[in-house]
Amino acid sequence: MRRLKFTAFALVFLLTCLCANLAQGQLREIGQELQKLSSVKDSVSLVNSLNRLGALYRYRNIDSCFHYGMKAKRIAASLHYQQGQTNADHVIAFALYKRGLYAESLELFGKVLAGYQQHADTANIARVYMDMSAVLHKDLANQAKINAMMQTAMQTGKKLKKDSVLSLVYFNYCNFNATLSEDSVNYYLTKSKEIASRFKDEYMLALHRSKQIYLLNRAYLLTRKGHKPKVLPAAKQLLSDAKNMGNVNLEIYALLILANYYHEDNPQKAFEYYNQICEVAQKSGDNELQIYYLTGALGRATKSGIKDDIINAYAALEEAMIADRENMKKFIGDYVRYNAIEDHNKLLSEKNAQRTLWLVIISFSSTIIVLAIYLIMLRRSRKAKKQIETLNNAANMQVIAMEEAKHQAVKEEQQRLGQDLHDGLSSSIAAVQHQLENLAMDTMDTSLKDKLRKLQTVVESAYDAARNKSHEWFRAAEERQEQSFEQRIKLLTENALPDFRYNKEIHIDDSSLLRVGADTRIALLRIIQEAITNIIKHAKAKNVGILIYEEMENLILIISDDGKGLGEKKPDYEKSALGLQSIRRRVRYLNGETNIQSSTKGTEITVSIPLTSS
User: What is the per-residue pLDDT across 534-573, written as a single tens digit (0 to 9) for each?
Assistant: 888 888 889 999 999 998 889 999 999 998 887 654 444 4
Residue 511, H or E segment:
none
Phi and psi torsions of 602, nearest 5°: 145, -175
Contacts made by residues 497-501, CB under 8 angstroms, sequence distance 24+: 497/387, 497/532, 497/535, 497/536, 497/544, 498/387, 501/542
Higher-pLDDT residue of 405, 355:
355
Contact 115, 82 (CB under 8 A): yes
- Of 250, 270, 305, which closes a domain? 305
Residue 251 inside a domain? The answer is yes
User: What is the per-residue pLDDT across 592-614, written as a single tens digit (0 to 9) for each?
Assistant: 999 999 888 899 999 999 986 44
Per-residue model confidence (pLDDT) at position 272: 80
Per-residue model confidence (pLDDT) at position 211: 66
**Lowest mean pLDDT across 174-178, 186-190, 566-570:** 566-570
8 pLDDT exceeds 80?
Answer: no
Give the residue among 357, 362, 400, 428 at the shortest CA–CA distance from 522.
400
Higher-pLDDT residue of 576, 13:
576
Residue 284 inside a domain? The answer is yes
Contact 524, 557 (CB under 8 A): yes
Residue 112 inside a domain? The answer is no
Cα angle for residues 526, 527, 531 (degrees, 5° grid): 115
**Lowest mean pLDDT across 121-135, 169-183, 334-348:** 334-348
Residue 395 inside a domain? The answer is no
Phi and psi torsions of 476, nearest 5°: -65, 170
- Of 305, 326, 345, which closes a domain? 305
Higher-pLDDT residue of 426, 45:
45
Q: How confident is the model at residue 140 (pLDDT cuts 50, 70, 90)?
A: low
Return the amino acid letter for 93. Answer: A
Higher-pLDDT residue of 126, 160:
126
Q: Are strands 593-599 and 543-551 parallel, antiparallel or unpaired?
A: unpaired
Residue 561, H or E segment:
strand 554-561
Mean pLDDT, range 6-15, rounded to an integer: 46
Per-residue model confidence (pLDDT) at position 331: 63
Share of the chain above pLDDT 90, in %: 13
Per-residue model confidence (pLDDT) at position 1: 44
Q: Which runs of E-coded beta strand occur in 61-165?
A: none
SS3 of 299-350: HHHHHHCCHHHHHHHHHHHHHHHHHHHHHHHHHHHHHHHHHHHHHHHHHHHH
Higher-pLDDT residue of 609, 338:
609
Residue 161, H or E segment:
none
Residue 30 inside a domain? The answer is no
Q: Which of 61-65, 98-102, 551-555 has the highest mean pLDDT?
A: 551-555
Rounded distance, CA 572 to CA 566, Å?
8
224 pLDDT exceeds 60?
Answer: no
- Sign for the pseudo-dihedral over CA of 412, 413, 414, 415: positive
Per-residue model confidence (pLDDT) at position 11: 47
Per-residue model confidence (pLDDT) at position 164: 79
Alpha helices in 199-286 (DSSP H): 202-223, 228-245, 248-261, 267-284
Mean pLDDT, range 347-352, rounded to an integer: 62
3-state secondary structure of 203: helix
Mean pLDDT of the chain: 76
3-state secondary structure of 508: strand
Q: Is the pTM of this model over 0.75?
A: no
- How many Å from the N-terminal Cα to the C-terminal Cα in the chain? 137
CA 614 to chain centre: 66
Per-residue model confidence (pLDDT) at position 376: 83
Higher-pLDDT residue of 202, 614:
202
Contact 604, 597 (CB under 8 A): yes
Residue 163 inside a domain? The answer is no
Cα angle for residues 87, 92, 93 (degrees, 5° grid): 95
Residue 255 inside a domain? The answer is yes
User: What is the per-residue pLDDT across 262-286, written as a single tens digit (0 to 9) for each?
Assistant: 777 777 787 788 778 878 877 766 6
Q: How many structural domains are present in the chain?
A: 2
Q: Please give the residue range of the domain that contains residue 292.
A: 1-14+201-305
415 pLDDT exceeds 70?
Answer: no
Mean pLDDT, range 302-328, rounded to an integer: 71
Contact 8, 218 (CB under 8 A): yes
Residue 23 inside a domain? The answer is no
Per-residue model confidence (pLDDT) at position 16: 45
Return the amino acid letter for 78. Answer: S
Q: How confident is the model at residue 110 (pLDDT cuts 50, 70, 90)?
A: very high
Half-sphere exposure of 85 toward its Cβ, with a 13 Å CA cutoff? 18
The CATH number of the domain holding residue 217 is 1.25.40
Higher-pLDDT residue of 293, 553:
553
Per-residue model confidence (pLDDT) at position 223: 43
Q: Are strands 503-508 and 593-599 parallel, antiparallel or unpaired?
A: unpaired
Per-residue model confidence (pLDDT) at position 113: 93
Mean pLDDT, range 280-299, rounded to an integer: 70
Mean pLDDT, range 196-201, rounded to an integer: 83
The CATH number of the domain holding residue 509 is 3.30.565.10
Give the residue among 229, 216, 188, 242 at the shortest CA–CA distance from 59.
242
- Of 305, 339, 358, which closes a domain? 305
Rounded distance, CA 231 to CA 298, Å?
25
Query: DSSP label at 478?
Result: P
